[in-house]
Structure 1
Amino acid sequence: MSAKYNKNLKPLARNLRKFGTKGEALLWRDVLRAKQHWPYQFNRQFIIGDYIVDFVCRKLKLILEIDGSSHFAKSKEDYIRQQFLESLGYTVLRFAESLVVYRIDDVVAEIDYAIQCLEQKIEDDQKEKYSQSP
């Protein structure tokens, strides 16, 4: 299942890329864009359906969200959003802004573990697909 992306969100996504939070900038600059940890491409402030996600690796269907203090008041909206993204096959990891800023190594370790799990799932799915073919 895939979702059309809302073209009307493009200016907002561009603006969010320019004026992101300290945690988003740190994770992007020092970890994701540099590809120093993983060989996967991540996109920043990416539109999926009617939502803009902080970071996405489309190959692994992995979304990373950095939640600031204002984000915690939106728990119902976040739940609906997360359900939608998961219905498309995405795995969503959420990190508090303060965790990204002050304990980036812990965040990298958690992302690394998720990537390993997703790689294994992809490998298992491929093995199953080939074992079922005549």
Structure 2
Amino acid sequence: MRSNPTEAERKLWMLLRGKRLGGFKFKRQQPITPYIIDFVCFEYRLIVEVDGSQHADNAYDTKRDDWLKSQGFKILRLWNNDIMNDEEGVLAAIMVALEVDKAASSRLID
């Protein structure tokens, strides 16, 4: 687990922590063996990964995402630049991903 988050990770955590985004609970730097996840909302099985340019066309990320999806998670990848410069757009993208999952869950209950 990293003890020094990037500036974008720090900013996103300030927006997500303490159920600040729509009452959804997120955890950061969460181990989901064999990986460490940037942010996760376990209730809706949503993983949010913060990516810099080193992640463009990365085969490791593809393999990792495939494994996490096989475990029932949905992955949303956000670019550092977007987090730093488009806070509203980033939060809207997360909410859309959560609401889609929330709507699907409520249909299963009904």
Fold shared, TM-score > 0.5 on shorter chain:
yes
> Does structure 1 residue 88 correspond to structure 2 residue 33?
no
**Letter paired with 1:89:** G
Cα offset, 1:71, TM superposition: 2.1
- Structure whose alpha-carbon radius of gyration is higher: 1
Corresponding residue for residue 54 of structure 1: 38
Question: Where is the strand percentage greater, Structure 1 or Structure 2?
Answer: 2
> What TM-score does the superposition give when structure 2 sets the normalisation length?
0.94
Amino acid at match of 1:120: A
DSSP 3-state at the match of 2:48 = strand
Deviations along 1:49-84, one digit per CA (max 9) or x if unpaired, are: 1111100011110000000122225x1111110010
Q: Which residue of 2 aligns with 1:130?
A: none
What are the ranges of 5 or more consecutive residues in structure 2 without an aligned counterpart?
Answer: none
| Unmatched segments (≥5 aa) in structure 1 | 1-12, 128-134
CA distance in 2, matches of 1:85, 1:125: 22
The percent identity for this pair of structures is 32
CA distance in 1, matches of 2:68, 2:33: 9
- Alignment map for 1:112-131 (pairs within 5 Å): 112-127=95-110
RMSD between aligned alpha carbons?
A: 1.1
Q: Is residue 44 of structure 2 the alignment partner of residue 63 of structure 1? A: no
**Matched residue SS, 2:25:** coil
Q: Secondary structure at the match of 1:40?
A: coil
Task: Count residues with an aligned counterpart.
Answer: 110
